[in-house]
Amino acid sequence: CSQWASALMSIVYEFIVHSEHGKPPFAIPTVDFVLPALALEDMSSAPPTRTPQSRQVIMLEPYLDGPWRKLINNGSALPLTQAMADNQGRVLCDFLVFCQHVQYLETRGCAYISDFQG
């Protein structure tokens, strides 16, 4: 999923770069996705009663310092009200809604990212 999400965001930045309207008069936010990894339990020393199907799988993500907030939930394409409480949040949410719009149009209605947090 993170590879698909990264590809969809690349579509947005390419759209901006190749816009016929030129460079916008404001700063474009840069967003990245946390790249997770899966850690699988080593079963080589597990007791014979443990099967590979009972192996523990843990998703790992890098630690991000700073405040976290939900911006756009996956139940609606509208930004959350509390995410737009300050100017920085409003600018970021406006950009993310723009991203969804571009992704929807560029994929001919097949895909857009619906859950933004950061």
Domain extents in the chain:
1-33+64-107
CB burial string 95-115: b at 16+ within 10 A, e below: bbbebbebbbebeeeebbbee
Cα separation, 49 vs 51, in Å, equals: 6
Exposure of 12 in the CB half-sphere (CA atoms within 13 A): 24
Residue 104: its pLDDT value, please?
95
Return all residues near 118 (Cβ < 8 A) that are at least 6 apart. 31, 68, 69, 71, 92
Q: What is the pLDDT of residues 45-91, one digit of tens each?
A: 878 887 777 888 999 988 888 888 889 988 888 899 888 889 888 99
Of 5-14, 64-73, 103-112, which gets the smallest average pLDDT?
A: 64-73
Mean pLDDT, the chain, whole residue set: 88
Predicted TM-score (pTM) of this structure: 0.78
The two three-digit tokens of residue 13, written as one number: 């930045």
